[in-house]
Amino acid sequence: MRTYVEGIGVLGPGLCGWPAAREALAGARPHVDVGVTLAPSPLLPAAERRRCVPTVRLAMAVGAEAVAHADRDPSEVATVFTSSSGDPDTLHQILETLASDQRELSPTRFHNSVHNAPAGYWSIATRSREPSTSLSREDDSFPAGLIEAAAEASVDGWVVALIAYDLPYPAPLDAVRRIVAPFGVALLLNPERTSRSLARLDIALSARTGEATRMADAGLEALRTGNPAARSLPLLAALACGRETSVILDFGPSQQITVKVSPPC
């Protein structure tokens, strides 16, 4: 599947926005682990800005950055959201309430708990009625989203934003499902090469023959293995370097995805 990257958004520890992340990922400056601030998206109406939860904030921040980078109208862009989980804080609060004697849930908390909450808020904020899907595959959620977005671009001919995000769980869930830090990434993909193209991606699915590409920096490698959305880091590093290179992502127990990253021309 061939597709062209027109825009990139990223938000994670020490990786606040693509311009800064690009330098760290290309090795132009060391990666320094600093905390992530998640603010409500200015694209949202006031009521939704008050109600939105951390996953929505993270997904919308990286999605908006990628769409702006590509100079695209988000109302004309299809979306693929992917995450291993719904909003972790909301999930914990609902489970605590349901384990108590007072089981009444807040309606806002309930609608924020659905896996596709970021997709719903995004659609409201951007006025996009284009197709949107919300995927999940535990630690392989990013490659699942990547093949779906690439298929939407290459088969259906859609301009599509792939938005991947995962956040740490609060106690006690953090003991059974460890996610080390918030991380979100978005890629704006176009089936056609345009003047805005940053890179060409050729994406192939095959039986697993090689090891997944790792990060040389120990901190970034810990983030890659500690957050499903950060499985994208080797691909982002390849995009940051701008040279032709191939990246291998594990997908499921016996398959892999090979992404050949090339200059767009």
Asked if 94 interacts with another protein (CB under 8 A), we say yes
Neighbours of 187 (CB within 10 A): 33
Q: In this structure, what are the phi and psi dihedrals at residue 62, rounded to the nearest 5 degrees?
A: -75, -35
Which residue stretch of 131-139, 194-202, 218-226, 232-240 sits at the interface with another protein (rule: CB under 8 A)? 131-139
Asked if 46 interacts with another protein (CB under 8 A), we say no
Is the CB of 16 or the CB of 92 nearer to another protein? 92
Helices 18-25 and 54-69: angle between axes, nearest 10 degrees:
80
Among 23, 130, 202, 221, binds another protein (CB under 8 A): 130
Enclosing H/E stretch for 207: strand 199-207
Q: Which residues inside 49-68 make contact with another protein, applying CB under 8 A?
A: 51
Indicate the Cα dihedral angle 137, 84, 149, 201, nearest 10°.
-90
Q: Which residues inside 144-173 make contact with another protein, applying CB under 8 A?
A: 144, 147-148, 150-152, 154-158, 171-173
Asked if 251 interacts with another protein (CB under 8 A), we say yes
DSSP assigned state of 89: H
Cα 4 from chain centroid? 17
Asked if 247 interacts with another protein (CB under 8 A), we say no
Asked if 26 interacts with another protein (CB under 8 A), we say no
Which residue stretch of 8-16, 30-38, 98-106, 215-223 sits at the interface with another protein (rule: CB under 8 A)? 98-106
All residues at 6 or more sequence positions from 229 whose CB lies less than 8 Å from its CB, including other chains: 82, 83, 141, 142, 164, 165, 166, 183, 184, 185
Which residue stretch of 4-12, 71-79, 209-217, 218-226 sits at the interface with another protein (rule: CB under 8 A)? 71-79
CA distance 107 to 265: 50
Is the CB of 24 or the CB of 89 nearer to another protein? 89
Asked if 140 interacts with another protein (CB under 8 A), we say yes
Asked if 126 interacts with another protein (CB under 8 A), we say yes
